Amino acid sequence: MYVSTWGLASAGPVLAWTKLEVRAERGALLRVSGMPFRAAQTAQSRIRAALAPLGLRWPGKSFTLNVRPPVGGDASQLDVPLALCVLAILGEVRPATLATMGSCGSLGLDGSLAGWPDGLAAWFEHGTATPPVLHPPRPEGVTPSHDGPTWGILPVAAWAHPGVSPPDGWHACNSLAECRDTLKREAWGGPRPTSVLPGPAPSATVPDLEGGNATKSGSATWDALHGEGLAKTWLSIGAAMHEPVLLVGPPGVGKTSLAFASHGLLPSLEGAEALELARRRQQANMSPPALHNHGTTLAQTPPLVAPHPAGGTAGLLGSWRRGLPVPGAWALAHGGLLFLDELTEWPRPARESLRHVMERHVLDLHRAEGACRWHANPWIVAATNPCRCGQRAERCVCPAHERHAYRRKLSAPLLERFPIQVEVGHDASRPSRTWQESRDWVAAIRRDRASGGALPWTAEAESEAQSLSQGNSCSRRVSRAVRRLAEGHARWTNRAEIHDVDVRAAWDVTWMARGGWWQD
């Protein structure tokens, strides 16, 4: 069986469409040209993992893979088109469907689609009514070539422009499963699925044009992601105590999946909040919340907004358009989750403004066109690579000065506003609560705190907190955060009072704000 498709890969400083051809036949050999053999092998194991959530296994066949033009270094750029070829070989989609289409994005081990390439959102004029199509004409940064796809699949996260639809023929997907469903519909000539915009994705509803039933997109739980007990525990505590979380780890270890799943921990919005949110979504020219999902209207589902760094300060905080204020991701995430991927990649003004709105929960937008003010207090989860190469400390290939320059992008005042700092990617432990138990726990703690509940401190905990902050001369903001997190930890472990072990656990997750991050 022969399958071909297109993938986006970097060719020197630019991105170019790359043709992938796969021949599958009887046997168990892997032959590769146009890509390092080792890279193809690791791609194979990543795709094998991503197929599992679809209930599929890697086909027991010999593969001949040819990539033109050849790609060097990071072949993970081609994971998505390769995975689609494997779906065709498994008979899940038709090979003819793949031949004319292109795809990109980075594929998580849980089958999620993340936002690669980084510049994708910048290809769209912010706020233009008719976004340029990828072919033709080509956006800047993509080498012109006579060949290339005329339609295809892009990750929702790479889109990340509230209110801007993908160009005609291009579909934004959250996972490999969604890619498969989209391709099936294309092949049948059935109605095109409505693309999921980043506003309510991934747990919001998507209209199912065929059956009229609403379907849930994206993974609603984090059960599919093994281990990461520490991250899951502290994301739950963060959701319950409304404390911002920063996830640190190499690409592809599930930071985005964890963050998107955490959105499911948040309780539904109350009436007034839901109304306010609907008003803002209207201002941002997003679709009205008229869909139903298991009896909950979209407006009651807390928003999940995952803007892309390329959207810059305007995308994050808002702008004026045709004389009207347009809320940015921060205001649109009110009552829900604001997920900031690639925190270091945001322009400095955006990162610094973020610091202010996280402190004051108010944003005044003064522009030549006028002034306006938004109040918002979304729960913020951010993710970052530990350095440019993204590898763990022992495998990092970055020169020390580059690593330090990269890390200095996250200033001390900014890091202090993300008191929960968790490393993701090499933690095999399991959290002490299941997904559903975590969800119920978050709701219970939020109710208790809303009615003024607070835990008492033991004398040992008090003295531990004091000696840790004095002995390490940390800022008052960090000391206060440690106290709040210690309470969250005590509640998580069902203690009726805060003990010194809770203080130490809280202290451990504030490690980046204490200097080690910049000097490492």
Residues at the interface with Zn ion (CB under 5 A)? 387, 389, 396, 398
Smallest gap from Cβ 409 to Zn ion, in A, equals 14
- CB closer to Zn ion out of 311 and 386: 386
Helix then strand then coil, in percent of the chain rounded to 5, is 40, 20, 40
Quote the Cα angle for 421-196-312, to 5°.
Answer: 50
CB 115 within 8 A of CB 52: no
**Residue 361, Cβ density class (10 Å: 0-12 exposed, 13-18 middle, ≥19 buried):** middle
Q: Give the Cβ contact number of residue 451 at 10 Å.
A: 7
> Could you say which DSSP state residue 11 is in?
E
- CB closer to Zn ion out of 118 and 369: 118
The HSE-up count of residue 168 (CA atoms within 13 Å, CB side) is 4
Smallest gap from Cβ 250 to Zn ion, in A, equals 9
Rounded distance, CA 474 to CA 416, Å?
Answer: 10
Rounded distance, CA 223 to CA 227, Å?
Answer: 9
- CB closer to Zn ion out of 151 and 406: 406
- CB closer to Zn ion out of 29 and 400: 400
- CB closer to Zn ion out of 345 and 462: 345
- CB closer to Zn ion out of 61 and 403: 403
Smallest gap from Cβ 516 to Zn ion, in A, equals 16
Which letter, b or e, does each residue of 292-313 get, where b requires 16 or more Cβ atoms within 10 Å of its Cβ? ebeeebbbbbbbbbbbbbbbbb
Rounded distance, CA 423 to CA 456, Å?
Answer: 30
Rounded distance, CA 134 to CA 141, Å?
Answer: 11
- CB closer to Zn ion out of 99 and 389: 389
The HSE-up count of residue 483 (CA atoms within 13 Å, CB side) is 17
Dig out the tokens for 109 from the structure: 């081990």
Max Cα separation, the chain?
Answer: 73
Beta bridge partners of 64: 23, 31
Smallest gap from Cβ 253 to Zn ion, in A, equals 15
Smallest gap from Cβ 42 to Zn ion, in A, equals 18
Smallest gap from Cβ 4 to Zn ion, in A, equals 35
Smallest gap from Cβ 396 to Zn ion, in A, equals 3
Dig out the tokens for 519 from the structure: 């000097």
Smallest gap from Cβ 304 to Zn ion, in A, equals 30
- CB closer to Zn ion out of 388 and 477: 388
Q: Residues 355, 389, 249, 403: what is their CA dihedral angle, to the nearest 10 degrees?
A: -50
- CB closer to Zn ion out of 214 and 389: 389
- CB closer to Zn ion out of 369 and 520: 520
Smallest gap from Cβ 408 to Zn ion, in A, equals 14
Rounded distance, CA 239 to CA 256, Å?
Answer: 16
Smallest gap from Cβ 400 to Zn ion, in A, equals 10
